[in-house]
């Protein structure tokens, strides 16, 4: 990373900051493929590890950079930005010895859930998306890393510590609204309550069943409130009340899914408390997003992982959430700190099948979801899930689902 030219605190030199950022980047790349950006106080990009400058353009489309700079001049804590599509960035500010803004560091973009092909197709039809973006929009969005909200907050706090030598809490982060000006005027548009109710029921059913695969069909949970975007204080309060109701329903859905009432209500109280202090639409949607993710994984872990040891739980979770990756035993063993042999033996003993068989099953289940929820071809699904070739994919799918991928898709088209 290029040399940094200012101090953030007297205890950190330029070299200290540079070394910390290099170590942080190395650490992040071991877990997620994330993009870091560095800007000066005029908004000029000084450095990035991303080869796609379009993400810088998308950031500026989501939030006026002058507003990002202005926030950093008045605040020391991070800013988290969410676009209308649910794309997120985190902004961390570096101050010099005179406490003046000197550099702006940004992680992003990320999604907290993969966008479905149908969602991308709808985005390509939006009149506010520039025509020259639409041609490659699918590729751009598919390359955006998918990171859980919890992890993205952790990475934001780690970046802040690397720059400012200061430990913060998640509640110290400010959540920014996206720009409204670049989108069609919604002030006269009535809320589609039927769609709101239908989407809410799907989300609650996903929590109730702990189905992490169906989550990606929704896009970010914060998009649930897209019809409630406030234009004045009264509408902001209305959005807050709807979100309070939504989180209450999430608590009950988690209890229906088997989570103990004590655990569910204790978690829910955290988000309800955050809502009581929320000062912007961004704060409110962030609470909705965190609550949905949290309750979903609470139920998922309760239903599927209680019988396993902690490390095997971690291994299973990693497999299920990374079916698109090139998974193998050495990689998984390294992730949880076991030797290849010990992981293989322990996994087979606890789960009842070997790791490769479990990976294949998880990929087939993801393939079944994609066959129904997307317009991807069978070959594209096979390639994405690393089946090697279409023939092997079809055999593996038939062994697990007792039908071919084409027949499975056809039989579910009515849904």
Q: Which helix (DSSP H) or strand (DSSP E) does residue 88 occupy?
A: strand 88-95
286 and 319, same domain (yes or no): no
CATH number at residue 376: 1.10.10.60
Tens-place pLDDT, residues 51-81: 888 888 888 877 788 889 998 998 899 988 8
Q: Which domain holds residue 347?
A: 310-412
Q: Which helix (DSSP H) or strand (DSSP E) does residue 197 occupy?
A: helix 193-209
- Which residue among 273, 299, 325 closes a domain? 299
Residue of 233, 244, 229, 230 lying closest to 276 (CA atoms): 244
Q: Over the Cα atoms of the chain, what is R_g?
A: 22
Tokens representing 149 are 């909200």
271 and 371, same domain (yes or no): no
30 and 166, same domain (yes or no): yes
Three-point CA angle 62, 293, 202, nearest 5°? 95
48 and 145, same domain (yes or no): yes
Considering the domain boundaries, does residue 267 fall inside one? yes
State pTM to two decimals: 0.46
CATH number at residue 46: 3.30.450
Considering the domain boundaries, does residue 167 fall inside one? yes
216 and 325, same domain (yes or no): no
38 and 145, same domain (yes or no): yes
34 and 145, same domain (yes or no): yes
Residue 105's pLDDT is 94
Considering the domain boundaries, does residue 187 fall inside one? no
Residue 248's pLDDT is 93
More confident residue, 102 or 307: 102
State how many domains the chain has. 3
165 and 23, same domain (yes or no): yes
Task: For residue 79, report the phi and psi dihedrals to the nearest 5 degrees.
Answer: -125, 130
366 and 343, same domain (yes or no): yes
Considering the domain boundaries, does residue 5 fall inside one? no
- Which residue among 109, 143, 176 closes a domain? 176
Considering the domain boundaries, does residue 9 fall inside one? no
Tens-place pLDDT, residues 286-315: 778 778 877 887 887 777 666 788 888 788
Q: DSSP letter at 218?
A: T
288 and 401, same domain (yes or no): no
**pLDDT tier at 9, thresholds 50, 70, 90:** very low
Considering the domain boundaries, does residue 181 fall inside one? no
Residue 345's pLDDT is 93
Residue 3's pLDDT is 36
163 and 88, same domain (yes or no): yes
Considering the domain boundaries, does residue 81 fall inside one? yes
Considering the domain boundaries, does residue 245 fall inside one? yes
């Amino acid at each position: 990373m290029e040399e940094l030219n200012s101090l953030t605190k007297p205890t950190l030199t330029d070299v200290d900051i540079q070394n910390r950022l290099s170590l942080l980047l190395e650490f992040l790349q071991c877990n997620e493929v994330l993009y870091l950006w560095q800007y000066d106080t005029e908004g000029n990009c000084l450095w990035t590890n991303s080869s796609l400058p379009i993400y810088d353009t998308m950031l500026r489309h989501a939030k006026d950079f002058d507003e990002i700079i202005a926030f950093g001049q008045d605040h020391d804590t991070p800013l988290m930005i969410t676009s209308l599509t649910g794309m997120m960035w985190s902004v961390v500010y570096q101050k010099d010895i005179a406490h003046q803004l000197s550099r702006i560091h940004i992680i992003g973009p990320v999604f907290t859930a993969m966008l479905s092909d149908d969602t991308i197709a709808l985005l390509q039809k939006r009149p506010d998306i520039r025509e020259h973006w639409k041609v490659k929009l699918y590729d751009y969005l598919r390359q955006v890393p998918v990171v859980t909200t919890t992890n993205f907050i952790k990475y934001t706090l780690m970046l802040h510590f690397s720059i400012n030598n200061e430990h913060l809490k998640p509640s110290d982060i400010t959540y920014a609204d996206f720009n409204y000006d670049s989108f069609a005027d919604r002030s006269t548009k009535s809320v589609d309550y039927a769609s709101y109710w239908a989407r809410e029921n799907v989300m609650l059913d996903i929590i109730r069943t702990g189905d992490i695969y169906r989550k990606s069909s929704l896009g970010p949970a914060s998009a649930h409130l897209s019809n409630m975007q406030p234009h004045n204080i009264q509408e902001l309060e209305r959005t807050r009340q709807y979100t309070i109701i939504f989180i209450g329903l999430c608590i009950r859905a988690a209890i229906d899914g088997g989570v103990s009432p004590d655990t569910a209500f204790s978690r829910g109280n955290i988000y309800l408390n955050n809502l009581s202090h929320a000062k912007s639409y961004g704060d409110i949607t962030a609470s909705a997003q965190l609550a949905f993710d949290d309750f979903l994984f609470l139920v998922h872990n309760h239903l599927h992982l209680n019988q396993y040891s902690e490390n095997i739980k971690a291994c299973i979770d990693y497999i299920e959430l990374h079916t698109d990756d090139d998974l193998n035993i050495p990689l998984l063993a390294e992730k949880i700190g076991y030797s290849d042999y010990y992981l293989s033996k322990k996994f087979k003993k606890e789960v009842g099948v070997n790791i490769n068989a479990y990976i294949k099953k998880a990929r087939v289940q993801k393939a079944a979801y994609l066959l129904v929820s997307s317009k991807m071809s069978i070959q594209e699904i096979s390639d994405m899930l690393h089946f090697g070739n279409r023939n092997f994919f079809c055999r593996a799918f038939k062994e697990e689902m007792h039908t071919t991928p084409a027949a499975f898709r056809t039989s579910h088209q009515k849904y």
